[in-house]
Amino acid sequence: MSATFPQPIILIGSDGMLGTAWRAVLDQMQVPYQCPTLAEFDLTDEESINRTITDEVQLVINCAAYTAVDKAEELEELATTINGEGVGKLAERCHDVEAKLVHYSTDYVFPGNADSPYLPTAERNPCNAYGRSKAVGEVLIEQSGCSYLTLRTSWLYAPWASNFVITIAKLAAERDELQVVNDQFGRPTSAQHLAQTSADMIYAGASGTYHVTDGGQCSWFDFATEIARLTDAKCTIKPCDSSQFPRPAVRPAYSVLDLTSTEKLVGQMTHWKENLSAVIAQLRKKETLPHE
């Protein structure tokens, strides 16, 4: 299988939540790859981009990003330097050396006020500063002329890193009651599912912009309720409105990403309840959660 996967491969942002999942996928495929550290490769340093993406590189998987959504409201310039211009420089370099760029973007490039899933071709109109910075990156990739695969995703979780599943599992074990917003709807995404589906799409020769998330859709309240159920928490999860948890960055009320084109290419996306159950099982194994 590895014979048809483009190589050599550079994996950027390999210590992040998605980068960690990608390392496991590539290890399992027994495909060699290089993971530059932040000291070696920085999206704000063009020289480090050009030094790292050498002539022979065929595939660049970019999991690096500025991902502090609330902080980005105050630090939009920094977010845009990394997620916008930095990604643009990376795309130009990929164009120059004829490497394929696999890149990740977000549901926040949309306004989040729709009532049916956003198609990959829907107009960008970001709901917050982070979304604007990611939209700049998407546009610069498209303008660079490089061969690219941009995968928009949402609500990432994994058995590692800091994410909603780990936070709720811990809080639900400690508290009697938790309030969780029930007026924002989207699609959770297991980082492991996303990395594996990305690999499947690379094998399938996909290029352009696609959406990859878990199957199904839910509110944060539904998601938290299922986390508490799967972890046997005694905690009562109560629904509330987002007005009760004001945050610096606007969160979309409805940012469900349409999966039709992705599913045509690589088959149906696994339902979020199934992926979540697999992640909870891994957390139990790591003894992060109590055993049944």
Ligand X SMILES: NC(=O)c1ccc[n+]([C@@H]2O[C@H](COP(=O)([O-])OP(=O)(O)OC[C@H]3O[C@@H](n4cnc5c(N)ncnc54)[C@H](OP(=O)(O)O)[C@@H]3O)[C@@H](O)[C@H]2O)c1
Q: Locate tokens 């009697």: which residue?
A: 176
Instruction: Give the nearest distance from C-beta 236 to ligand X in angstroms.
Output: 26
Total residues interacting with ligand X, rule: CB under 6 A: 25
Q: Using N-to-C axis directions, what is the helix angle for 87-97 and 129-144, rounded to 10°?
A: 20
Q: Which is nearer to ligand X, 57 or 235 (CB)?
A: 57
Angle among Cα 259, 153, 257 to the nearest 5 degrees reads 40
Instruction: Give the nearest distance from C-beta 73 to ligand X in angstroms.
Output: 16
Catalytic residue among 118, 130, 148, 254: 130
Stretch that binds ligand X, among 37-45, 52-60, 196-204, 246-254 (CB under 6 A): 37-45
Instruction: Give the nearest distance from C-beta 153 to ligand X in angstroms.
Output: 5
CA–CA separation, 101 and 81 (whole Å): 18
Query: Does residue 18 belong to the site contacting ligand X (CB under 6 A)?
Result: yes
Query: Does residue 201 belong to the site contacting ligand X (CB under 6 A)?
Result: no
Q: Three-state DSSP class for 160?
A: coil
Q: Which is nearer to ligand X, 43 or 136 (CB)?
A: 43
Instruction: Give the nearest distance from C-beta 65 to ligand X in angstroms.
Output: 3
CB 110 within 8 A of CB 255: yes
Query: Does residue 43 belong to the site contacting ligand X (CB under 6 A)?
Result: yes
Query: Does residue 186 belong to the site contacting ligand X (CB under 6 A)?
Result: no
Burial 117-135 (b: 16+ CB within 10 A, else e): bbebeeebebbbbbbbbbb
CA–CA separation, 78 and 66 (whole Å): 8
CA–CA separation, 25 and 102 (whole Å): 15
Residue 160, amino acid: W
Residue 121, amino acid: T
Distances (CA, A) of 250 to 129, 215, 247: 9, 24, 7
CA–CA separation, 63 and 109 (whole Å): 17
Query: Which residue's Cβ lies closest to ligand X?
Result: 16
Query: Does residue 44 belong to the site contacting ligand X (CB under 6 A)?
Result: yes
> Which residue in 53, 82, 140, 233 binds ligand X (CB under 6 A)?
82
Footprint of ligand X on 48-67 (CB under 6 A)? 63-67
Stretch that binds ligand X, among 9-17, 166-174, 176-184, 201-209 (CB under 6 A): 9-17
Q: Please, where are the H alpha helices in 30-119? A: 46-52, 76-80, 87-97
Neighbours of 52 (CB within 10 A): 19
Q: Which is nearer to ligand X, 163 or 288 (CB)?
A: 163
Query: Does residue 16 belong to the site contacting ligand X (CB under 6 A)?
Result: yes
Instruction: Give the nearest distance from C-beta 144 to ligand X in angstroms.
Output: 17
Q: Is 210 known to be catalytic?
A: no
Catalytic sites, residue numbers:
130
Positions touching ligand X (CB under 6 A) are 13, 15-19, 38, 41-44, 63-67, 82, 104, 106, 134, 153-156, 161
